[in-house]
Each structure stands twice: as C-alpha cells, then as structure tokens.
Amino acid sequence: MKNKKPTVKVNLTTKGDNYYAIVNVNCNGKRNQKWINLHLSVSGHNKRKADDECKKLFVEWSEKIISLDSEMLFADWLIKWVDTEKGMVEDSTWREKYRQINNIIAPYFRDKGIKLCDLSENDIEDFYKAKMSGEIGKKAVGANTIHHYQAEIHKALKQAVRERLITLNPADFVKLPKKTKHNAFWYSDKQLLAFLDYIKGQEIEVVILLCSWFGLRRGECLGLRWCDIDFDNQTIKIRGVIKDKGESGSKKRNLHYVPKTKSASSMRNLPMPPSSISFLQQLKQLQDKRKSKNPNYNTKWDEFVCVRPNGDLIPLEYVSRKIPELTIKAGLPRLKCHELRHTNLTLLYEKGASWKELQGWSGDSTVRLLQDTYTHASDKSKEKLANFIDNILTA
C-alpha cells in the first residue's frame, strides 16, 4: 500500500449549546476522529474564540504527528519516501530506486535499528564503508555506486527536512569517495569492419549495423519502426524506444514500446548512408516474405525493424548478452552494445566531425556530456595540435 503524508483537519461544529472541534487524523492509511468540547457556549457569541481554539488544536496535532514520524526507523522512512517517488520519474528509474532502497539500503539500516531522528553522517558513512569493503552484500561496490546510494539517501532526507521531521540533512555532511571516471572503449575502423564481416547473416546483424551506422542506443535500435524510415528522402527518425516493464515473468512479454526518447534532444532525424538504404530495403522484403509464408508469424511487432525470423522482437537482454559473445568469437576484444555507439562517434570525430555536429548526431543533451564521455577523442585532437606545433618549430 502506498504511504501518504499524514494529514490533520480540524472542523468546528456545535452540539446543543456548546462548540466542539472535530479533529480528523489520517496517518499511515488509518483515519481517526476525535471530538473535543471547547467549553464555549454558542449562545454566548463565542464563534471567534472557538475558531482560535481550532487553529491551536491544528498546530498541536500537527506537531504530534511530526513527532511520531520522526521517531520511525530510517529504513521505514526510506520505503515510505520511495513510494511517493512513483509517478514522479520514469518507470524504469523508479524501479531501480525501489530495488536499491528495498534490497540494499533499507535492510542495512533496519538491522542497525537507527531512527530517522537519530541518523548521523557517521551512520551513513559506515554503510558506505561496509559496502565498499564487501562486509555486506555479495561483493564490494565501487565509488560510483556509492554516489548512486548517496543521491537516493540525500533526496529522502531532504524530504524529511521539508516535512519538518528533522532539522538538518545529515547526508549534507557525508564524506564521499572520489568517483572513478569511465573510459569508453571503442573499435578502430579495421576492427569494426572485421566484426561486421563476421556477423553477416545473423539475426542480430540489423541491431549491430544500426549501432554502427547511426550510433544508436540499444533501446533506440529496437524501437525503430518501418514508418520511421523514409526511403524516398533517405532519412530515419528516432522517435521512441523499447523498454522492459520490469515486471516478473517472461522477458519477451515485458518488452513494450515507449513513444519518447531519453531526452528531447534524442528525438532526431538522421541521413541514411547508401549501404544502410540497400540493406534495410532488402530486410523489409525478407520480412514480408517470411510473414506471408509462416502462418505462425508473430504480427505483434510487425511494424518494427529489429525482429527475428518468426516475427518476435529481438529482446533487450539478448542484445546485451550476444554482442560481447560474438566479438570474442570473432577473435576481437570484448565489446558491449553501447560501445558500438562509442565506436561510431569516435570514428566520426577522428574523420573531422565537430563536437556540435556529433551532439546533433548522437542526441546527447549537451556538448559537455560528449566531451566528458569521449576524452579519448579529445586526446586525439591534442595529438594533432602537438604535431602542428612541432611542424612549426622544426620547419
């Protein structure tokens, strides 16, 4: 059951010749009502005094509820808070928040029995140290994961401050480990060509080619529909993604199309290279042929590009698992699906594309985000500058 913020309402009424305050308290899904005799007569023209007493009762009962909430365990507050986040963020984002809170963070603090009102920055730091050392959980986590935990804990405590359950946010004073920078991996043009040659004819070939041609994200590849491809004008439109509902049961049944992208900038039109036009036209003909010959063909995903020979949509988890397997079988360094996107953008940069051009191509929200992710491309640019100055000075 979703926990709602406790509420207090005080209404004025009369019973005989006396004024009464009706106090309605809604806390943790339970409703309680209390009648309080104000000992003020109606005939004595005490309406204003009765209203003032109701206001005092409202403040008094509100403070009682706040006191009760602040005495709750921090673990209970975390679970209560994450419930209120549902609907405020993307479903997939909320599910990850819920998983972290319910499976990792809350159980630790519940075992410690720490109340919300007693929580200190030292308690939070102890949790982080235990996670990084591997003292709790299946394995030790890194600094970046700790920063993810901190983000959720800080937001939950910020809400507690906002509701006057605590006066200060202890997460403000936590000392965090330094983040480790993710270095994107990519293939050279020769490695990419070798990989594309190896996967020819495999059902996942279309996904790998879309990543390689356009630098698409995994969900964008699988979310590409035939109506998004304009063969006459030789463009594709990125308008939606495939996501996992995150529910129990079949991974296939959990797949669903979301008609929006990661951000507004990810909605983009891209020109099609000639090789992509030829391949996709042939693929469309092949899919139509398979559908006409197979009475059991799955037409649910009929409008989508990345489907299997029987019409099933290629699953998200299959893409994540299969691409690294194929790179190893091809005798190449292990490469993940998203690193095909890195490869596409790196090769374009090395061929002279500007950061602004790459932003429009990739759908990233800012140029800074690109530059932070593709530092290896920046290093290549610096090497060119070093060579330029060397040529000048040694001429």
**CATH code of the domain containing 149:** 1.10.150.130
Residue 196 Cα to chain centre, angstroms? 31
Residues 158 and 201 in one domain: no
Amino acid, res. 40:
L
Residues 66 and 78 in one domain: no
Assess whether 256 and 133 both reside in one domain: no
Same domain, 201 and 101: no
- Residue-by-residue pLDDT tens, the chain, 395 positions: 344 567 889 999 999 999 999 998 876 566 888 899 999 999 888 999 999 999 999 888 776 665 555 578 999 999 999 998 888 887 778 888 999 999 999 999 999 999 998 999 999 999 999 999 999 888 899 999 999 999 999 999 999 999 888 889 999 999 999 987 766 788 999 999 999 999 999 999 999 999 999 999 999 999 999 999 999 999 999 999 998 876 655 567 789 898 888 778 789 999 999 999 999 999 999 999 999 999 999 999 999 999 999 999 999 999 999 999 999 999 999 999 999 999 998 888 888 888 888 888 988 878 777 777 665 555 555 555 556 555 655 55
Instruction: Please list, residue by residue across 151-170, b when 16 or more beta carbons sit within 10 angstroms of its beta carbon and e when fewer do.
Output: ebbbbbbebbeebebbeebb
Is the residue at 266 inside a domain? yes
Query: What are the beta bridge partners of residue 8?
Result: 25
The total number of structural domains that make up the chain: 3
Give me the count of residues in the chain. 395
Alpha-carbon gap, residue 324 to 343, rounded angstroms: 14
Longest dimension (CA), the chain: 107
Last residue of a domain, one of 129, 147, 173: 173
Find the DSSP H helices in 294-336.
316-329
Instruction: Output the six-digit token pair for 343.
Output: 């490869």
Residue 293, domain CATH: 1.10.443.10
Please list the residues that pair with 31 across neighbouring strands: 26
Domain span at 108: 74-173
Residue 394 lies in a domain: no
Which are the contacts of 347, defined by CB distance < 8 A and separation ≥ 6? 186, 189, 192
304: which strand partners? 225
Residue 323 near residue 336 (C-beta atoms within 8 A): yes
What pLDDT, on the 0 to 100 scale, is given for residue 234?
Answer: 93
Is the distance from CB of 213 to CB of 344 less than 8 angstroms? Answer: yes
Residue 321 has what pLDDT? Answer: 95
Last residue of a domain, one of 118, 144, 173: 173
Answering whether pTM is above 0.95, one says no
H helices of 252-307, in order, are 274-293
Structure confidence at residue 26 (pLDDT): 79
pLDDT score recorded for residue 1: 35
CA distances in angstroms from 217 to 242, 336, 339, listed in the order given: 10, 11, 9
pLDDT given for residue 319 in this prediction: 96
From CA 368, how far away is CA 370, in angstroms rounded?
Answer: 5
pLDDT of residue 246: 66
Calpha distance 96→188 (Å, rounded)? 34
In a shared domain, residues 89 and 163: yes
Whether residues 197 and 276 fall in one domain:
yes
Residue 178 lies in a domain: no
Contacts of 337 (CB under 8 A, 6+ apart): 207, 211, 218, 319, 320, 323
Q: Tokens standing for 292?
A: 């006409």
**Position 55 in a domain:** yes
